[in-house]
Amino acid sequence: MERRIEAVLESVRRPSRYIGGEVNQVCKPQATSLVVLCYPDAYEVGISNQALQILYDQVNRRPNVAAERVYCPWPDMADAMRREGIPLFTLESWRAVREADLLGITLQAELTYSNVLEVLDLAGIPLRARDRTEQHPIVVAGGPSASNPAPLAPFFDAFFMGESEDGFEQVLDAVEAVPGRAARLDRLAENPFVYLPARGRHEVKRSIYTEFGIETQPTRVVVPYASAIFSRASVEVMRGCTRGCRFCHAGTWYRPVRERPAEQVVEAGMKQLGCTGYDELSLTSLATSDYTDVLPAIQEIKRRAPTLHLSLPSNRVDTGPVALMAAANARQSSITLAPEAATQRMRDIICKTITDEMIEGAIEAAFTAGYTSLKMYFMIGLPRETRAEVQGIVDYGIRAREIGRRVGRGRFSVHVSASNFVPKPHTPFQWEGMEARGQLAAKHAYMRRAMPTRQIRLSLHDLRTSMLEGALARAPESTADAVEAAWRAGARFDAWPEMFQEPAWEKAFASLGTSIDAEATREYGEWDELPWDNVRSGLSKEFLLDEWWQSRAEVATGDCRWDGCADCGACYGPVRNKLMN
């Protein structure tokens, strides 16, 4: 097969996506079981995913199990593979994916769903789980989007819910110790974190990594070729977030908060830099400025590596975090702030507990620190949004420019980005529908007209892909037929605007007697059975409902880190908030 693959690589774009052989990849020809890990998007997106690096390391720690990787081939490669009869192959050994014992596919975003089917088809694995036999691997989904398994349920043998470090070990035990697909599925049925759609709609719990020890933070991560979207070392300093933003799926799905001690973070970061050769280290989490030991960690890293490019993504909008970012990375010229909403009313609705003073303070601190490019992220189409909120975004662009002119040192630019709100399962907004496409389009048009262009750049997310994301995020199981129909009509790489084929999706939904817009704007009643109700995230439905009502009352809920327990239910599980005090 190698010669045929090499011949095909001569004619496709970016053949480095398919060759493997990167530094720190693991080859285990002596292994008796093969687990193939798939990110259903292009190599440069998938290789940057930290969760898959953790899983790759976790599986490869088992002496007799090999983890190998595969990504979704770009259409030119997929066409060539079909033409030449080459099945989907892993990067490490160029073995056929269908030879695996288990194929794990991470679902990080709804817009990769059509690629899941593309991967299965290229691998020669029947799309529907019911059509698979003992010859085929067990196909397991994981990742945050698996929290609503319904729209992909017929395509997977199993869904693993939550964090892999603890609960996935039992899945690997089953693969290693039990022979045969049917017997393995029987074993998986005993796992409380695994949902087997073929065995009826049963309850499944989210696995939570209770220890959150540093030993599971990989240090010998695979170093991608230059085309990856993120080429940097990263250490997860904290998992979970207590901010309680009502739109945020990760904010509820990864509770409770667990922090790592600063000295372990520093050691892991230094080791990873040495093993990878990166010149940048990222301290990742959902809100790194909330990490208790953020300052000592930064100081120690800078002491050991003064010229290192240190990045702190996802920070609270305030002067303190901006100063932290500036101190951490003197080489960076751009900074990103995410106020999400431009008025206090809307920030109370979405529970983003920051004030205008904090936002303006952060902007001023950024320009004072010498940043020359300021990016601000907002959302539009949020529940109960009025014209004032949309105007507020325009006003913030102008205000940021004024502050930049007043305190900035020379040339600068302001970049205002607005994404379209998409309600997600397991959040307080899970009952809300998306705003109608026409309304969103009108808001886009208004912002384009009203936003000045001098020193301000406005970007608006593609409405078409946002609507599809909305249609899939809270979809019922019947939507699986639409996913398959869209894929058969050519849908692939839907997150890539140049690849997105809206007509294929429109026809697919129409064949079910519905539409993308009808599904995206669907509102659920508080007594309705939700498609994902069998998935227990750890947060109580009562808490989510209460938060939804609080949003209607335009009241923000305090952060339990400082303002007392909000009784969300996360700390009733195997671990409570674990902070470094």
DSSP state of 578: B
Q: Which is nearer to another protein, 309 or 345 (CB)?
A: 309
Q: Which is nearer to another protein, 23 or 442 (CB)?
A: 23
Q: Which is nearer to another protein, 21 or 63 (CB)?
A: 21
Q: Which helix (H) or strand (E) holds 387?
A: helix 387-407
Smallest gap from Cβ 275 to another protein, in A, equals 7
Smallest gap from Cβ 370 to another protein, in A, equals 10
Smallest gap from Cβ 17 to another protein, in A, equals 9
Tokens of 268: 């892991």
Q: Which is nearer to another protein, 22 or 186 (CB)?
A: 22
Smallest gap from Cβ 453 to another protein, in A, equals 24
Is 484:431 a contact under the CB 8 Å cutoff? no
Q: How far is C-alpha 385 from the geometric centre of its chain's CA atoms?
A: 26
Tell me how crowded residue 488 is: count the other CB atoms within 10 A of its CB: 14
Smallest gap from Cβ 576 to another protein, in A, equals 40
Smallest gap from Cβ 273 to another protein, in A, equals 8
Q: Which helix (H) or strand (E) holds 536?
A: strand 535-536
Which residues are near another protein by CB under 8 A?
A: 6, 9-10, 14-16, 18-23, 223, 225-227, 231, 273-279, 307, 331, 333
Non-local CB neighbours of 86 within 8 Å, separated by 6+ positions: 1, 4, 5, 8, 80
Alpha carbon of 329 to those of 215, 226, 260, 414: distances in Å? 27, 22, 22, 20
Looking at the DSSP bridge assignments, the partners of residue 417 are: 377, 459
Is 389:346 a contact under the CB 8 Å cutoff? yes
Is 228:221 a contact under the CB 8 Å cutoff? no
Smallest gap from Cβ 372 to another protein, in A, equals 9
Smallest gap from Cβ 274 to another protein, in A, equals 7
Beta strand spans in 92-189 (E): 102-106, 138-142, 158-160
Q: Which is nearer to another protein, 225 or 496 (CB)?
A: 225
Q: Which is nearer to another protein, 3 or 387 (CB)?
A: 3
Tell me how crowded residue 360 is: count the other CB atoms within 10 A of its CB: 17
Q: Which is nearer to another protein, 199 or 331 (CB)?
A: 331
Distance CA 271, CA 288 (A): 20
Q: Which is nearer to another protein, 231 or 455 (CB)?
A: 231
Smallest gap from Cβ 7 to another protein, in A, equals 10
Smallest gap from Cβ 496 to another protein, in A, equals 16
Q: Which is nearer to another protein, 223 or 295 (CB)?
A: 223
Which is nearest to 402 in space by CA: 354, 452, 475? 452
Q: Which is nearer to another protein, 275 or 512 (CB)?
A: 275
Which is nearest to 35 in space by CA: 156, 188, 172? 172
50: exposed, middle or buried (Cβ count in 10 Å: 0-12, 13-18, 19+) = middle
Which is nearest to 302 in space by CA: 270, 334, 260? 270
Which is nearest to 200 in space by CA: 149, 162, 164? 149
